[in-house]
């Protein structure tokens, strides 16, 4: 939940007691930057990239060429807007949720 805007107009997150949960995963990749990290491909076999080093995904789901691995944002498009990255993240999150529930 987000609180009321502060003097700068930013709404800050509010902790929701009892909302934490643990999800067991094989791997989690956190990425911050404006270009694809070349280490992702060398440490995660089965990922294909285009000539610029951007990961290849199938449609808007963000599913890469390796089953169960999703990508979005600059890792797929190269440097772009934060809005595009957020949209890709939202689409990938929905696809990941569907994938997890199908595997479950």
Are 75 and 37 in contact by the 8 Å Cβ rule? The answer is yes
pTM (predicted TM-score)? 0.63
The closest alpha carbon to 63, from 91, 101, 21, belongs to 91
Output the tens digit of pLDDT for each of the chain's 104 residues: 889 999 999 899 899 999 988 988 887 766 566 677 778 878 888 999 999 888 999 999 999 999 999 988 888 888 888 888 888 889 989 999 999 888 87
Burial class (CB in 10 A: 0-12, 13-18, 19+), 60: middle
Domain assignments of the chain as residue spans, ordered by start: 23-103
């Amino acid at each position: 939940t987000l609180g009321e805007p502060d003097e700068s107009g930013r709404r800050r997150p509010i902790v929701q007691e009892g909302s934490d949960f643990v999800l067991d995963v094989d791997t989690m990749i956190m990425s911050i930057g404006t270009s694809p990290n070349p280490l992702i491909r060398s440490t995660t076999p089965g990922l294909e990239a285009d000539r610029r080093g951007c990961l290849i995904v199938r449609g808007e789901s963000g599913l890469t060429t390796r089953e169960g691995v999703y990508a979005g944002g600059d890792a797929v498009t190269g440097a772009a807007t934060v809005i595009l990255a957020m949209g890709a993240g939202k689409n990938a999150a929905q696809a990941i949720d569907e994938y997890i529930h199908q595997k479950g």
